[in-house]
Chains A and B, each alone.
Chain A
Amino acid sequence: MAKQVHYSIVIVGAGSAGISVAARIVRASKRLKGQVAIIDPASKHYYQPLWTLVGGGAAKKEESERDLSSLIPAGVDWICDAVTMFQPEQHKLSTEQGSIFSYDYLVVAAGLQIDWDGVKGLKDAVGKNGVCSNYAYHTVDSTWEAIRSFKGGTAIFTHPNTPVKCGGAPQKIMYLADEYFRKLQVRNQSEIIFASAKGSIFDVPTYANTLNDVIRRKNIETRYKQNLIEVRADTKEAVFENLDTKEQAVWKYDILHVTPPMKAPDFIKNSTLADAGGWVDVDPYTLVHKRFPTIFGIGDCANLPTSKTGAAIRKQAPVVVKNLLALINGYPLEAKYDGYTSCPLVTGYNKLVLAEFDYNQMPCETFPFDQSEERFSMYLMKRELLPILYWNGMLKGLM
């Protein structure tokens, strides 16, 4: 017979969102200590924003990795298991190891799933012969290897036709590569192409203007509405489909940096928690589920119409916790998330545009200067300060 355990609050996923929420709950209510469980099968936790710099040779990947056990807040039980099925009507969920967890309140913070199989030939090709990707711990080294050993030729950087974590990341690594190619003195013998399924370089015009200047200055060719559908590793060819005309084109590459397609985790997609796209169907302001009032969704797995970033989670976590505690205490849900997200757009080894905006794609900047300009100070902040604030502030429920 399956083991049954009850917790007042169950959090699914121990990524940035899950740990932040757990830490905030036990900080805000001592009474809930021992009443909160966080379920995640992983043993390691990664500070993924660093992977852009790892791929560019400006940081070590080991600096982005920590044992998950060291990050679980005191008073929270970590269940090292994978959720397989939700039964929201019964306030229950099942796990891979056969346990059943019942709960009063549920927070779904399961992140997203990289779909390596979404591009034909990619799974086998990635990590060797010039095909690289910053999007996994085991492949990020291959990007730096490809960049530093580049002898000239065609370097293609892709952006898929799906939501991605950190919408700016596919182009950041391209800017670092351009600078490094100049350092290697191979830039004159090379062509850099940004092949994106999107229709422009960035959704927010203020920052798009700066990025278009960067692209002109770096002499990068942009090809929009182009979606990578196949990698032919043996002939070093990439097949793209034009999203408007459906025409296919085959381009030769020497480096192919792939931002893989991403999707909602299957166990969410196949549940009644999901919307038509497979993401957790939440109210975009209160973050409570649209049909199940004791369930919240946060982070990459939620169907929020904003860029999926850690910075967005930093603003979502306090909203989820305030509304969750209000719900427990019988008060109205007054905390509102405005869609804030941030993308530190690295444009070189010492330059960065700090984009911050909301649901209306209106800039909402933190600093009292024009953040759409490339700045060394902002690069320093990303490289040196943000990791510290992440480990010791955000994951501790402090900021």
Chain B
Amino acid sequence: MFLEDLSDPEVQEAITVLIRKLPKIKDTVLAAEEGLEVATSILRDQESLRYLFERVDGQLSRFFVEKESIDALFTLLEKMPKLVKYVSVLEQAADFLESLGKDKQSQQYVLAGMKAYIAPVSSQVEHGVAVIREAKVRAEGNSEPVSVFRLFKLMKDPTVQKTLRFTQSLLEVLAEKSKK
């Protein structure tokens, strides 16, 4: 049986190849033997091993995860599609704000729009302040006593009349409400 195999050309070719490779196989076996010896020696060197493990322990301790963390990681993975959706929205909002921050023309546009809405109000306020200031200056410069005749004349002024009518109506409403 064995001799029959030897007569097979394929087996003969394989033996030839193996014989040719024998020097290389020898070198490899020797190198493996040396490596094994080194490993055995290291394993026997308890002191070095203890030192090595202590260092690794110290370095990696902050990466050691508890079961709780692993559970959380899997929960997070489950929620990932939803989180990605929110993060995408946030990313879009951030990109929009970034774009707006760089877009001087749009900033000018908003500013001009705001000014247009504020202008009528601020001009009214400015007008009111100017009226009060002028009245204050005039009042301070006038030391004449206000006579009864002057008071009668003042009461005919439409603005005073309007104010008095409002005061009268206000008093009436207040009286009615307080009765209830």
Chain A 28-71 residues near chain B, CB threshold 8 A? 63, 66
How many residues of chain A have a CB within 8 Å of chain B? 12
Inter-chain contact B96/A392, CB cutoff 8 Å: yes
**A383 adjacent to chain B (CB < 8 Å):** yes
Q: How far is A388 from B105 in the complex, measured between Cα atoms in Å? A: 9
Q: How far apart sit A297 and B105, CA to CA, in the bound complex (Å)?
A: 31
Cα–Cα, bound, A267→B46 (Å): 85
Least Cβ–Cβ distance between B92 and chain A, in angstroms: 5
A392 lies within 8 A of B99 (CB):
yes
Q: Which B residues are within 8 Å of any A CB, using their own CB?
A: 92, 95-96, 99-100, 103, 105-106, 109-110, 113
What residues on A are CB-neighbors of B105 within 8 Å?
63, 66, 391
In contact, A384 and B99 (Cβ under 8 angstroms): no
Given A396-B95, A398-B96, A399-B92: A391 in contact with B113 (beta carbons within 8 A): no
**Measured CA separation A399–B96 after assembly (Å):** 9
With A and B bound together, what is the CA distance between A396 and B92 in angstroms?
10
Of chain B, the residue at the smallest CB distance from A60 is B112
Q: Nearest chain A CB to B75's CB is how many angstroms away?
A: 28
Chain A residues with CB under 8 A of B113: 383-384
Judging by beta carbons under 8 Å apart, are B95 and A388 in contact?
A: no
- Residues of chain B within 8 A (CB-CB) of A63 are 105, 109
A88 near B: Cβ within 8 Å?
no
Cβ A388 vs Cβ B92 within 8 A = no
Contact residues of A: prevailing secondary structure: helix
A-B contact pairs, 15 of them (CB 8 A): A66-B105, A384-B109, A384-B110, A387-B109, A391-B105, A392-B96, A392-B99, A392-B100, A392-B103, A392-B106, A396-B96, A396-B99, A398-B99, A399-B92, A399-B96
Which residues from A are CB-within-8-Å of B99? 391-393, 396, 398
In the assembled complex, which residues on chain B have CB atoms less than 8 Å from the CB atom of A392? 96, 99-100, 103, 106
Chain B contacts of A391 at CB under 8 A? Answer: 99, 103, 105-106
Most buried by B among A388, A391, A393, A396: A388
- Complex interface bits, A247-272 against B, C-beta within 8 A gives 1, otherwise 0: 00000000000000000000000000
The chain A residue sitting closest to B107, CB to CB, is A388
Closest A residue, CB atoms, query B114: A384
Closest 4 CB pairs of A and B: A392-B99, A398-B92, A384-B113, A392-B100
- CB neighbours (8 Å) of B95 from chain A are 396, 398
Q: CA separation between A301 and B170, bound complex, in Å? A: 66
Q: For the complex formed, measure the closest distance between the CB of B50 and the CB atoms of chain A, giving whole angstroms.
A: 50
Q: How far is the CA of A398 from the CA of B110 in the complex (A)?
A: 20
Q: Which residues of A contact B103 (CB under 8 A)?
A: 391-392
Residue numbers in B under 8 Å from A387 (CB-CB): 106, 109
Distance from A398 Cβ to chain B, minimum over Cβ atoms (Å): 5
